[in-house]
Amino acid sequence: MAATLLCSIPECGNPTLARGWCRKHYLRWYKHGDPLETNGTERGKPLDFLMNVVLKHVGDACIEWPFSTDQNGYGKISFEGKSQRVNSIVCSFAHGDQPTENHEVAHSCGRGSSGCCSPMHLSWKTHKENEADKMTHGTLRRGEDHGRARFTNAEIREIRKLAGSRLQREIASRFKTSQGQISAIVNRRVYASVF
């Protein structure tokens, strides 16, 4: 039986995974470029910040979540055994449970994607109410500003202009999309905000 190789980091003592390091040190190297670099958050700090800073905050200023965020910029934390958005947790503590499945957390400051989790800025609203707030704040991404937009606003205008003189399948071929997508654009089922 071969002897188990140990991590080359002094005083580690864990079995080697790769490159002469244990799993912990290998993953640190993979993530940070250095097997000794932790550059992480001290265990318990996010929960402590949530309970003792965020939930006790009574001012009108934004509180930006200084820890992990999701791909949209909203704070996230492991809470009650699962990863959750911080604003949902705070809204529940400050304003009670989500009234219905159709309600979502809305930010009166318009800075939710910047990580704001101030209890005074959060409330439960329907999706329609939340979208109306985004219009007021100027944070609603529409047309080419939307993250999943396939066409520029200029292309949308051109497609609609061509629809008067060309078949939709010809336009679809030109823009490398489907006839159904062209129909949705022409009939304003998508990109309705682009004029």
Q: Which DSSP letter does residue 2 get?
A: P
β strands within the chain, DSSP E: 76-79, 82-85, 103-107, 122-126
Q: How far apart are CA 17 and CA 15, in angstroms?
A: 7
**In 39-178, which ranges are continuous DSSP H helix?**
45-49, 86-95, 127-137, 153-162, 168-174
How far does Cα 50 stand from its chain's mean position? 19
CATH number for the region 45-137 comes to 3.90.75
Quote the pLDDT of residue 169: 93
Quote the pLDDT of residue 57: 93
Domain boundaries, given as residue ranges, for the chain? 1-40, 45-137, 143-186
Instruction: Please give the model's pTM, rounded to 2 decimal places.
Output: 0.56
Quote the pLDDT of residue 100: 92
pLDDT means over runs of 10, the chain (195 residues):
79 88 84 71 85 92 89 86 91 94 89 88 89 70 62 87 92 91 89 75
Write the CB contacts of 42 (distance below 8 Å, at least 6 apart in sequence).
none
